Structure 1
Amino acid sequence: MNWIIRSTKIVKYHTNLHEILKPIWEDLNKYNWLLTDLDFISDVELPINFDHDCFILDSKEFEIIYNSEVQIIWGIISAIPKNCKFNVDLLGKLSSEDNKIWQPDQFLISESFLEIVAFDSGYTILKFTDKKLSDKFKNHFGKEVLSLEKFNQKIPYEN
């Protein structure tokens, strides 16, 4: 239930949230979204900026990002239950360069229902806790996404 997108054959650019979330978008409206360690390019105003290290958005605020043409270069984006409370200062110190991102089923934010990591505009990693959603995502993209486990067999991460 861990996937990696390496190729831009299936997306215009990494990490295009509208394209990668499209097959499962209707299933995600009951979550809040936690975004941290962000670097992005956008030509429109968004509910995220470079003034803060971490953002917790409701589904309506996140929908603005989903519907935009924002390119996430670096970042951790997590769908989380609406009732979760977090220490934003601690979350702001998380890094998409943490080796844990390459480890299957290891979430940087333990409460994540879905965790997306944008890694230097070259890789998009998606980790699901829900098999049904993971299968729906995989069925949509088919062979264009690779399991993180298989990816690690080819390019092992360092501990």
Structure 2
Amino acid sequence: MNWIIRSTKKVKFHTNLHEVLKPVWNDLAFYKWILTDLDFISDQPLPINFDEDYFVLDHQEFEQLYKSNTQIIWGIISAVPNNSEPDTSSVSRLSAEDTSVWEPDHFLIQESMLEIISFDSGYTIVKFKDQSLSHKFKEYFQEQVVDLQKFNEKYIDRT
């Protein structure tokens, strides 16, 4: 239930949230979003900026980002249940460059139901705790996504 987008055939660029979340967006209405370690490019006003270390957005605020043509270059984006209260002091110290982002089933924010890691505009890692959402995601992207474990075995875990 961990994927890496390897192709930009269905996405204009890594990490365009509108395209990445398209197959599961309707299932995410009851989550709030935590965003940290962000670097991005956008041509419109957004509920995120470079003044804060992290952001906690409700669905409506996140939808502004989702509908925008924003490129997330670096960052950790997490959907957490509305009733959860993650430890924001640890969230501000998270980094997309942490080697653990490449570990399957390892969520940087424990409350995450979905975690997206944007890594230097070249990789988008998407992790799900919900198998049905993962299945929808894989069905939509088909061969354009690779199982994260298989990717690691081929490209990273060379010893």
What TM-score does the superposition give when structure 1 sets the normalisation length?
0.96
Displacement after TM superposition at 1:6 (Å):
2.1
What corresponds to 1:143 in structure 2?
143
Secondary structure of the residue that 2:153 maps to in structure 1?
helix
Aligned residues: 158
Displacement after TM superposition at 1:157 (Å):
5.0
Structure 2 letter corresponding to 1:26: N
Secondary structure of the residue that 1:23 maps to in structure 2?
coil
Provide structure 1 residue ranges, at least 5 long, that are not aligned to the other structure.
Answer: none
Q: In 1, Cα distance between the equivalents of 2:3 and 2:88?
A: 27
Identity across the alignment (%) = 61
- Tell me if the contact between 2:113 and 2:128 (Cα under 8 Å) persists in the aligned partners: yes
Q: In 2, Cα distance between the equivalents of 1:6 and 1:93?
A: 27
Secondary structure of the residue that 2:75 maps to in structure 1?
strand
4+ residue runs of structure 1 moved beyond 4 angstroms?
Answer: none
1:97-108 aligned within 5 A: 97-108=97-108
Deviation string 1:14-60 (CA, Å, 9 cap, x unpaired) is: 00000010111000010000000000000100000000000000000
Structure 1 letter corresponding to 2:97: E
Structure 2 letter corresponding to 1:17: L
- Tell me if the contact between 2:86 and 2:109 (Cα under 8 Å) persists in the aligned partners: no
What corresponds to 1:78 in structure 2?
78
Displacement after TM superposition at 1:88 (Å):
2.5
1:47 matched to 2:47: yes
Provide structure 2 residue ranges, at least 5 long, that are not aligned to the other structure.
Answer: none
What corresponds to 1:129 in structure 2?
129
Q: In 2, Cα distance between the equivalents of 1:56 and 1:3?
A: 24
Structure 1 letter corresponding to 2:81: P
Deviation string 1:104-145 (CA, Å, 9 cap, x unpaired) is: 000000100000000000000000000000000000110110
What corresponds to 1:16 in structure 2?
16
Deviation string 1:1-21 (CA, Å, 9 cap, x unpaired) is: 000012222210000000010
What corresponds to 1:37 in structure 2?
37
1:66 matched to 2:52: no
- Tell me if the contact between 1:33 and 1:59 (Cα under 8 Å) persists in the aligned partners: yes
- Tell me if the contact between 1:107 and 1:115 (Cα under 8 Å) persists in the aligned partners: yes
What corresponds to 1:109 in structure 2?
109
What TM-score does the superposition give when structure 2 sets the normalisation length?
0.96
- Tell me if the contact between 1:116 and 1:127 (Cα under 8 Å) persists in the aligned partners: yes
Q: In 2, Cα distance between the equivalents of 1:152 and 1:88?
A: 29
Displacement after TM superposition at 1:155 (Å):
1.2
